[in-house]
Structure 1
Amino acid sequence: MTLSHSFPALSDRAFVRYFTFTALYFAEGLNMGMLFVGIPAWMAMQNKTPTEIGAFATACALPWTFKFVVAPLMDRYTYLPMGRKRPWVLLAQLGLTASLMFMAFVPDPLSNLKLFMGAAFLVSAFGAIQDAATDGLAVDVVPGDEQARANGFMGGARMIGSSLSLAGWSWLLANYDYKVATMALALLIGLLTVVPIILREEPGEKILPWTPGTPSAATQKMQITSWSTILKALWSLFRLRNSLLVAALVFITQGAYNYFETLLPLFTVKIAGWTNISYSKAFATADLIGGIGGMVLGGYLIERFGKKRMIGGYFLLIIFITTALALLKAYWTESTFIYGFIITYRWLNAFAKIGVYAVAMECCSKLVSASQFTFYMTIGAVGSMVGATLIGPVKERFSWEITFYLFAALIALAWICMLLLNIRKLDRQISELEIKERSVSPAYSESV
C-alpha cells in the first residue's frame, strides 16, 4: 500500500479532523507562548521599559494584520492535487520552523532590539500564515454541527501549546541560554509538520508533489477562479450590520486581551515581586488548565447552552475579577492571590475565546470561507496591535488601578456588541447571498 492511500482524509472522519486541528493549533501555540508571554516577561525581568516591551509586542502582532492579504490568495491560488489549503499549511509550517531557527541565532538579543524585533516579526509572519491556512482548512472541512466542538479542541490545544512552550522555553532559558531554548522550540514545531504531511484533505490526493494522486472532484468544484467573485462576496457580506458586529467583537476582545496580558508580566515582576520564571510557570499552569478545560468542556458548554449566553457570562466574570484585582491593592504582593487571579482569568479567557471564534466561524459564507474568517481574525490582529500600542502611553500616565479598569471597560464594550449581535439573522442573510451568487456566477459551485 502506498503512502498516499495509507491514511484517511480529513473529509472522511471526525476524529481525523479533531486530531489534525488539535496538532496544528498546538504548533501555533508553541511560538505564541514564547513571543507573546515568555519574551515580554524576560524583558521585564531584565529591566526593559514598558515602551520597549510594548514595541516588541507590536512587532509580534503586526504580521497578523496582513492575513487579509494572504487569505484571498489562498482562496484563489493553490496546488489542487495536494488540496485547497494543505499546501499553504505545509509552506507555513516549514517557514515557521526556519524563521525560529534564524531567531535563535540573534546575538545578545536584548542588546540588539531592532534585529530581535525583526526576527520576531518574521516568526510571527509565518505564524499568521499558518493560522490563516489552518483556519481556512477548518472552515472548508469541518461540518456545522462540529464547529463548536472543533473550536474547543483548537482553542484548547493552542493554549496547551502556549503553556508548555512558555514553561519549557523559560526553563531552558534559565538553565542553558536563549539560543538553546529557541532552537528546541523550532525543532518541535518542525516535528509537528509530519501531521499535515501524512493527512490529506480528500481521498486520492497527493501526499507530496512527487507522489501519486489527483485533485478531488469536490475541491475542484469549490475552487474559486475569479477575483471579482471573491471581492463581490466579501463586500456583500461585510455590508451587513451583524457582520460588522462580529468584526467589532473580535477587534475589541483581541485588543483587550493583548493589552492586559502584555501588562501582566510587568505587573507581577515590578509590583508583586515575582521573577520572569515564576510568572512563566504560573501563566503556563493557567494556560494548561484553561486549555484542557477548553478541550473538554468549552465546545460542549457552547453547544449545550448557546454561544451568546455563555460568552456573555464569561465576559461578565472577567469584568468582575478584574475589578476585584484593581480594588484589592493590599493583596497585590500576595503570591497566592495573584496566582489564583491568573488561573481564573486564563480559564475564563480560554472559554470566551472559544465562543467568539465559534461565532466567527458560524458567520462565514462557504463562498469565501477562508477570506471571510481570516478577515475576522485580521481585525482581531489589528485589535491586538492597538492594544499593545496602548501599553506605554497608558502605564506611563496612569496608575495600575486605571490600567485594570480600562481592560474591564473594553470587555464591557465587547459584551454590549455580543448583546446586539443577531446570529440567526446573519445566518439567514448569508444563505440568501450564497443562493443568489451561485445562480449568477459560473466561477463558483459548492462541493457536494
Structure 2
Amino acid sequence: MTNAATAAPASAARRPLPALSEHKIARFAAIIVLYFLQGVPLGLALVALPGWLAENGATPVQIGGFVGIAMLPWSTKLFNGLVMDRFTFKPMGRRRGWILLSQALMVAALLGMAVTAPGASDIALLTAFCFTLNVCVTFADVAVDGMTVDIVPEAERTAINSLMFASQSFGVAACSYLAGQLLASGSLASTALVLAVMVGCASVFVALFRERPGERLLPWTRGQASRECEERQNSAWWPILSGVFRSVIAPRTLLFLLGTGCACAMLAFIDAVNPTLAVQHLGWSSERYASLSALLNLVAAGFALFVPVALVRWFGLKRAIIGHFVAMAALTAIAGATFAGWQDDILFMALTSALYVLSVLLVVLHVVWAMRISNPAIAASQFALFMAVPNLARSIMSGNSGWLVEGSGYAATYYAAAGIILLGLVCCLLGRVGNDRAVAP
C-alpha cells in the first residue's frame, strides 16, 4: 500500500504540462507572453532611444535614419518565414525551436548592449544593436504567427489577434516607461541589463509548454515529431516558393499589401517625427515623452483587447476597416490644418492619442484578414509576407520623414500622411479587403 501511495504522486509530478495545441489557456498564455516580449526592442527603438537622442541634440534626419534602419528587420520577415517553412527541428514542433532560439539570442544582444554601453553620440552603434534585437524578435514573431495559424482554431482567431496586439502594446508600454525612467536616471547599461533579465524570465515560462503532445520539451529530452508536423513541414523549396508566388501575383493580394503599407503612414509619423516634435519643438523632456508613449500603448492595448472583436461582430470586417481609414485621414488633416495655431500640448496629445489607437486597431483588423487568407501549409512564409510589406513601408516612411520635416515643416508632413492613408483606403476597397464572400486570395 505504501509503495502504491507514493508511486501515484510521483507519477503525477512527472506529468507534463498541457500542450499548446490541446489547451486554450496554455496557448493563449504562451502567445500573449511572446507578443509582450516583442515590446522590448520596439519600445527601445521606437520610443525610449529616439526621445533620449532628441534630448541630447540629435536632428530629425538622424532620428529618422536610426528608426528606419533599426526597424528594417521587420520588412525581411518573408525570408524568415521561408526558412522556417523549410527547416525546423521536428521533434520540438514546427515553430517552437525557432522561438526558443530567437529568445535566447535576444537576451544575448541585450547583454552585449549592457557590456558596451554606447552613449548618445554613438548613434551608429545604437542602431546596430537595435537592428540586431529586431532581427531576433522578427524570427520569434514569424514563428509565433505561423504557430498561431497552425494550432489556433478559426473561432478563436479574432480574439487571439486582439490579445496578440494588446499584449505587444502592453510590452511596448512597459519597456518604454521602464527604459525611459532608467535612461533619465541611470545609464544605457543598466537599462539593457534589466530588459535582458525580463526577457530571460519570460522566455523560461514559454519553454515549459510543448507545441503538440509527445514532442520534446528541450532538444536533449525525450519525445518525437507529431503527425501534424510531419505532414505540414515542407521537405523542398518549390512547394513553399510556388505557394507564396501564387498568393503574391493575385491582384487582390497586391492591393491588400499596398493598402496595409499605406495604413502605416501615421505609425511612421509617430515613430520618427513625434520625438523631435515633442522634445525639440514643444520643449518636452525625453522622460515625459516616454511616459506619454507608454500610456498610449496601454490605452491602445486596452482597446485592442475588445474593440476589434466587437466591431467585426457588429459591423463586419470591411466596414470596420473603412471606418478606421476615414477617421485617421480626417484627424491627420486636422492636425496639419491646426498645427500653426498650437499654443500648448493639448491638441498634440489628443490627436496623437486618437491616431495611435486607431492605427493599432487598423493593424489588428488587417491581421484578421491576413490570417483568413493564409494557407496553413506555408503559413510562416505567406503570413510573414503579409506582415513584411507594411513593415517595410513603415521603415521607409520613417527613414525619410526627417527630410520632409526639415524641408517642409511638421504641418506638411501631417498632410502627406493624410494623403498616404487615403491611398491605402482606395487600395483596400479595390482589393475587396474584408469581403467575407471572397476569402481565397
Q: TM-score, normalised by structure 2?
A: 0.93
**2:383 matched to 1:373?**
yes
**2:224 matched to 1:214?**
yes
Aligned residue identity for 1:94: A
1:45 to 43, 52, 55: 55
**2:364 matched to 1:354?**
yes
CA distance in 2: counterparts of 1:331 and 1:289, whole angstroms: 27
**2:408 matched to 1:411?**
no
1:272 to 275, 282, 298: 282
Aligned-pair CA distance for 1:106: 3.1
Q: Check 1:94–1:219 CA distance in 2 against 1; reply closer, same or farther (3 A cut).
A: same
Q: Which moved more, 1:325-334 or 1:71-80?
A: 325-334
Aligned residue runs from structure 1 range 37-436, under 5 A: 37-329=47-339, 332-423=342-433, 424=435, 429=440
Asked whether the equivalents of residues 55 and 285 of structure 2 are also in contact (C-alpha less than 8 Å), the reply is yes
CA distance in 1: counterparts of 2:403 and 2:42, whole angstroms: 24
Aligned residues: 430
CA distance in 2: counterparts of 1:272 and 1:310, whole angstroms: 34
Aligned residue identity for 2:160: A
Q: Which moved more, 1:263-272 or 1:420-429?
A: 420-429
Q: Check 1:93–1:344 CA distance in 2 against 1; reply closer, same or farther (3 A cut).
A: same
1:23 to 33, 46, 71: 33
Asked whether the equivalents of residues 160 and 291 of structure 1 are also in contact (C-alpha less than 8 Å), the reply is yes
* Cα deviation code 1:261-297 (max 9, x no counterpart): 3101111112222111111111111110110121133
* Cα deviation code 1:109-145 (max 9, x no counterpart): 2222222211121111111111111111111111222
Aligned to 2:7: none
* Cα deviation code 1:154-212 (max 9, x no counterpart): 01110111011101110111122221112111210111112331111111111111222
User: What percent of counterpart residues are identical?
Assistant: 27
Q: Which moved more, 1:219-228 or 1:2-11?
A: 2-11
CA distance in 1: counterparts of 2:161 and 2:177, whole angstroms: 24
CA distance in 1: counterparts of 2:277 and 2:173, whole angstroms: 19
Aligned to 2:8: none
CA distance in 2: counterparts of 1:299 and 1:187, whole angstroms: 34
Asked whether the equivalents of residues 114 and 189 of structure 2 are also in contact (C-alpha less than 8 Å), the reply is yes
Aligned residue identity for 2:355: Y
Identify unmatched segments of 5+ residues in structure 2. Answer: 1-10
Asked whether the equivalents of residues 243 and 363 of structure 1 are also in contact (C-alpha less than 8 Å), the reply is no
Asked whether the equivalents of residues 84 and 219 of structure 1 are also in contact (C-alpha less than 8 Å), the reply is yes
Q: Check 1:200–1:357 CA distance in 2 against 1; reply closer, same or farther (3 A cut).
A: same
Q: Check 1:3–1:419 CA distance in 2 against 1; reply closer, same or farther (3 A cut).
A: farther
* Cα deviation code 1:49-107 (max 9, x no counterpart): 11111111122122222222121110111111110001001111111111112122334
CA distance in 2: counterparts of 1:2 and 1:382, whole angstroms: 49
Q: Secondary structure at the match of 1:205?
A: coil
Asked whether the equivalents of residues 26 and 162 of structure 1 are also in contact (C-alpha less than 8 Å), the reply is yes
Aligned residue identity for 2:287: I
Q: Check 1:17–1:301 CA distance in 2 against 1; reply closer, same or farther (3 A cut).
A: farther
Aligned-pair CA distance for 1:428: 5.1
CA distance in 1: counterparts of 2:85 and 2:224, whole angstroms: 19
* Cα deviation code 1:221-276 (max 9, x no counterpart): 11111211111111111111111122112222235422343101111112222111
Aligned-pair CA distance for 1:13: 2.5
Q: Check 1:66–1:167 CA distance in 2 against 1; reply closer, same or farther (3 A cut).
A: same
CA distance in 2: counterparts of 1:34 and 1:273, whole angstroms: 21
Q: TM-score, normalised by structure 1?
A: 0.91
Asked whether the equivalents of residues 4 and 206 of structure 1 are also in contact (C-alpha less than 8 Å), the reply is no
CA distance in 2: counterparts of 1:334 and 1:170, whole angstroms: 23
Aligned to 1:446: none
Aligned-pair CA distance for 1:393: 1.8
CA distance in 2: counterparts of 1:209 and 1:408, whole angstroms: 50
Q: Which moved more, 1:265-274 or 1:337-346?
A: 337-346
Aligned-pair CA distance for 1:4: 7.8
Q: Which moved more, 1:332-341 or 1:409-418?
A: 332-341
Aligned residue identity for 1:16: A
Aligned residue identity for 1:358: V
Aligned-pair CA distance for 1:425: 7.8
CA distance in 2: counterparts of 1:400 and 1:255, whole angstroms: 14
Q: Which moved more, 1:336-345 or 1:48-57?
A: 336-345
CA distance in 2: counterparts of 1:327 and 1:217, whole angstroms: 59
Q: Secondary structure at the match of 2:62?
A: helix
Q: Secondary structure at the match of 1:201?
A: coil
Q: Check 1:333–1:9 CA distance in 2 against 1; reply closer, same or farther (3 A cut).
A: farther
Aligned-pair CA distance for 1:329: 2.7
Q: Secondary structure at the match of 2:278?
A: helix
Q: Check 1:406–1:3 CA distance in 2 against 1; reply closer, same or farther (3 A cut).
A: farther
